[in-house]
Homo-oligomer: A and B are copies of this chain.
Amino acid sequence: MAAGGLKTYSVTFLPDNKTVEAIKGKSLFEAAVAAGVMITNVCGGDGVCGKCRVTVKSGRVKASPTMFLSREEIQRGVALACQTFVDGDAVVEVPVDSRARVGRQQATEDAIRFGRVSDHVGEGKAFRHSPLARKECLTLPPPSSQDNISDQERLFRELRRSAEIPIMQMGLPVLRRLPALFRHSHWQVTALLGWRGGATEVVDVEPGQTCALNYGVAVDMGTTTVVAHLVDLGTSETLATKAKYNSQARFGEDIITRIMYSSTPTRRTEMRELLVGDINELITGLISDAGIKPHDITYVTCAGNTTMTHFLFELDPNQIRRDPYVPVALLPPVVRAAEVGITVSARGLLAALPSVSSYVGGDVVADVLVSGMTQSQDVSLLIDMGTNGELVLGNSDWLMCCSASAGPAFEGGGITCGMRATNGALERISLRAGGHVEQFEVVGKGKPVGICGSGLIDLVGELLRVGCIDRTGSFLPEACDGHFRVGESGDREFLLFKHEETALGSEIFLTEADIRNLIHTKGSIYMAAETLLDEVGMTFGDLEHVYIAGGFGNYLRVDRAIAIGLLPDIPHETYEFIGNGSVQGAKMAMLSEEAMAYIRDRIAGSMTAIELSTHHKYMNGYSATLFLPHTDIEKFPSVVAEQANGASTEQGREKPLAIANRPSR
């Protein structure tokens, strides 16, 4: 049991039945990571989110005190994995709702959903097909005494017959292969040209004619989900799509927690390897589905928020979270994919979409490209609701953007019974008077496990409509027909589903704190939009289009989002869902050097980033948004009209809650 003087113990995790040796004093969370068991957490192990509940079935542990557990739970052996430490051999059960959910089946379903929506949006619009990696099949004239230029120049000359390439590079490994290659292939070769920013690289040269085999992978590096599309670079066809959860989530569901974790070079290597491991797993699945070889994948483009891009290249993200929020690089170099560990062709290239600032990344830049908003004089607003919220306002002449620090409420973070939009998630609900459930829908059918973002919006909107909460988000117990209670720790709660009505036998309920979290999230997004418009002297009525991006957007019901004040009260036809703009934009960039240059120069390069946390208008207006839908109900005429038509439970104007401005970032 002794290793290097330190006591180690066996810790077994159920139901996986995975055992790991852990040094005395390690947290159960760290032991679980070492065992490959993914426990959900939002706070990165600080003991403040209460998400990583486990049950110690037997053995010795030491636990720090926590307010997240009741006396009864502690007696049953329930513990927070990040606050409980190994002190002997132990057996620990990880309940279903504490597990970071990863599954191929679900991932594939996600990919299909993402794909379905984004098919409607202007993929490749207006950009000439000129992929970042292109193959040229060449028949070189054999040398003669009249034409005995070098092998390198012979290749360059032939490549320049079709187009002038000002700066052509070729590495020694390829140059060294030329003489034998040319002569053995009888001067029939295929050259692979790769985009290297300003220069073109002869990435590889192969014998024979292999032009038909040229594939690329576009990746959306989401904080929560990693999505990859396999593309035929010759035909632009998408051959396969895959998605999986971001394995970095074990070190925090939100990006700030992950940045805090990444404080040492070793940990940054670990974070890169987790992300790249996910990308490689997706690529393995994609090539298996499409029946191609990794060698024939010649280019990879990745879009993600600025921090995810830092993780990909193993750049230190720590200044991103510290005032004045400075990234290492917004436009990282084009490198060989192998340099970060991505397993495609050994000489294949990797480019990340450029970011705009520490909190507006390549994913948003990709959204803008996909939306087409920069190709029209119409003023459009784009809202990307991921784990964080980003907004872009503008048209073909100007672009402004900001990050709204929405927080992870829409993905289950900070919500007692919250979860991501996976199997078992309540995604849609209607209530009737008294707060009784009338109708509901669960992702994957069956009994519910928890509440995902769209379900939360529906639920709060319905509670408001039927009068169970007031416009501050406080419960009105007399209107909650038996659903209201005060919990053990004094929390005011609304019981939605009893033990026997849920998939896992755990009650599903909503607390006032949950509602406050949602209100902060929707308020920050709404206020960010209003602030951006105000910067250019416009109002919501001036918007011709509002584009909603992000996986979340696929499930969102516009009327409910307006009812709670998340989205402005403008005609529903103004709204357009672009789905996963990040992966679509990464794909468009990969298929067109023009699009890549456009992204760099016309989108990322010309976008003005507004910092909301120090913005006077935002600071002043934010508290007014912490009402349902808003302090000023006149901003939401359709809500007023609905209340006039239905059973109004309006309680009049009340003081909003005073909340710190940058709640979760």
Contacts and interface: CB of A to CB of B under 8 A. Distances in A.
Interface of A: 143-145, 147-153, 166-167, 169-172, 175-176, 178-180, 197-199, 313-316, 318-319, 323-333, 335, 339-340, 357-358, 611, 614
Nearest to A327: B150
A198 B198 CA distance: 10
Contacts of A325: 148
Contacts of A327: 150-151
Q: Specify the main secondary structure of chain A where it touches its partner.
A: loop
A166 B167 CA distance: 12
A326 B198 CA distance: 30
Contacts of A153: 329-331
State how many copies of this chain the complex holds.
Answer: 2
Given A172-B335, A313-B172, A328 B145 contact: no
Contacts of A148: 324-326, 357-358
Contacts of A316: 176, 179-180
B319 A179 contact: yes
Nearest to A340: B172
A329 B175 contact: yes
Contacts of A340: 172
A328 B173 CA distance: 12
Given A197-B169, A333-B172, A150 B326 contact: yes
A166 B169 CA distance: 16
5 contacts: A147-B324, A153-B330, A179-B315, A179-B318, A180-B316
Contacts of A151: 319, 326-329
A329 B143 contact: no
Given A313-B175, A314-B176, A169 B333 contact: yes
A483 B339 CA distance: 72
Contacts of A171: 333, 335
Contacts of A313: 172, 175-176
Contacts of A611: 145
B166 A198 contact: yes
A180 B330 CA distance: 17
Contacts of A323: 145
Given A169-B197, A176-B328, 11 more contacts: A143-B326, A144-B324, A148-B326, A150-B327, A151-B327, A153-B330, A167-B198, A170-B333, A175-B328, A175-B332, A179-B318
Nearest to A335: B172
Contacts of A319: 151, 179
Contacts of A330: 149-150, 152-153
A358 B144 CA distance: 13
A207 to B, nearest CB: 16
B178 A328 contact: yes
A181 B205 CA distance: 39
B175 A145 contact: no
A45 B102 CA distance: 66
A145 B324 contact: yes
B339 A172 contact: yes
A306 to B, nearest CB: 9
A614 B148 CA distance: 14
A298 B318 CA distance: 31
Nearest to A613: B145
Nearest to A319: B179
A167 B328 contact: no
Nearest to A171: B333
B176 A315 contact: yes
A367 to B, nearest CB: 21
A411 B196 CA distance: 47
A324 B144 CA distance: 6
A499 to B, nearest CB: 51
Contacts of A328: 150-152, 175-176, 178-179
A257 to B, nearest CB: 19
